[in-house]
Chains A and B, each alone.
Chain A
């Protein structure tokens, strides 16, 4: 039962295609798990479709139809739908845990990723590390407390398996948390098993607790 969904703001921008790729990855992965938000997005897409039907028309190039028919006839043309992406043979565990929209960020199965311990009981596999964006998988040991931290930008966390508590809230598979720079949180993984999360960060993480400040250089990686 998913209790922490994404707000309409993200779903609307996802539906109209204006949401940047890292955030879209979080939304798309949540949608794979959450039928309720998927239905919302379908409603938003239908709003766009209705406005399209009633919307403006733009003059086409004079040979547009002929050009399209010619492309249809040329069987050799690649269909461009993305099916040509190199296929990686993921193991069963990976296929059951990693939502389809996230798979193109992995170059091998979960257990073979380059896991690095970033703090006690916490391992991170970095998927994207750029100036402004970091996308990672986090594996938190059962019962492990994550050092208290805030962020300079936004942090999206999507639970892929297991769960964690943060204050009075519990997050299980499919739940999303969106933390901005004002949020200081200290999640604790459930005691009955490890917790795997997707995290997307728009700014460097800062540790705030007494131990955290000590670990700061480590977490910043």
Chain B
């Protein structure tokens, strides 16, 4: 994903349209697919995707590769746009300069020893090791963006089982991530 990081930088630094087209060709069809999986109609998915890609152009200067991988950054822009359109809720990144953070830290304790790209890589490797039954739940929760309740209903599984399997999968993932620090 190094190329994608370079593309976002090129947009931020010199409004590079070719870089934007590269990003668009990779992300736009994937965002539209994930929006449809998440329950949007085809037209609505197209609209949210287009608005998200416009925001990618406009917000390129705010992209910080130390804080998010290009995919995570673009995913959250699209998710936030969808939430903005559906609800009164607004999600915006936290501003470390806000007076709220005067007495509390805006940053996690300790230094993260892996980069965002490494975090994504560890996660990709981890998902490949998941047993099929857990992978299915992870797909439903993280790709199809379903609630635990909806997953339980669709798979005809007790809600408690969905919760505990996902909890275990996420705990193992965190172990993988912290294991990399040791």
A positions within 8 Å CB-CB of B: 7-9, 12-13, 15-19, 21, 24-25, 28, 31-33, 35-36, 38-40, 42-61, 64-65, 67-69, 71-72, 77, 79-82, 85, 92, 95-101, 104, 173-174
Contacts and interface: CB of A to CB of B under 8 A. Distances in A.
User: Taking chain B's interface residues, is the majority helix, strand, or loop, or is none over half, making it mixed?
Assistant: helix
Given A35-B105, A64-B28, A58 B33 contact: yes
B108 A35 contact: yes
B177 A43 contact: yes
Contacts of A99: 100
A67 B50 contact: yes
Interface string B143-167: 1011110100000000000010011
A49 B75 contact: yes
Contacts of A65: 21, 24-25, 28
A53 B100 contact: no
Interface string B99-138: 1101111111100100010011001100100000000001
Given A24-B89, A58-B29, A47 B123 contact: yes
B98 interface: yes
B54 A72 contact: yes
Given A8-B166, A17-B82, A104-B90, A43 B123 contact: yes
Contacts of A43: 119, 123, 173-174, 177
A8 B83 contact: no
Contacts of B100: 32, 95-100
A35 B146 CA distance: 25
Given A47-B173, A56-B33, A95-B100, A13 B148 contact: yes
A48 B74 CA distance: 11
A58 B45 contact: yes
Given A8-B166, A55-B143, A100-B100, A46 B119 contact: yes
Nearest to A12: B141
A60 B177 contact: no
Interface of B: 1, 17, 20-21, 24-25, 27-34, 36-38, 45-46, 49-51, 53-55, 57-59, 68-69, 71-72, 74-76, 79, 81-84, 87-92, 94-95, 98-100, 102-109, 112, 116, 119-120, 123-124, 127, 138-139, 141-143, 145-148, 150, 163, 166-167, 170-171, 173-174, 177
B139 A71 contact: no
Contacts of B30: 52-53, 55-58
B124 A18 contact: no
Nearest to B98: A100
A59 B29 contact: yes
A150 B74 CA distance: 42
B99 A96 contact: yes
Given A18-B147, A21-B89, A25-B89, 14 more contacts: A16-B145, A21-B88, A36-B109, A43-B123, A46-B69, A46-B120, A48-B34, A48-B79, A65-B25, A79-B55, A80-B51, A80-B84, A100-B94, A173-B104
Contact of A64 (B20, B46, B170): B46
Closest 8 CB pairs of A and B: A57-B29, A49-B71, A35-B108, A58-B33, A95-B99, A49-B72, A58-B32, A51-B143
B123 A81 contact: no
Contacts of B108: 35-36, 38-39
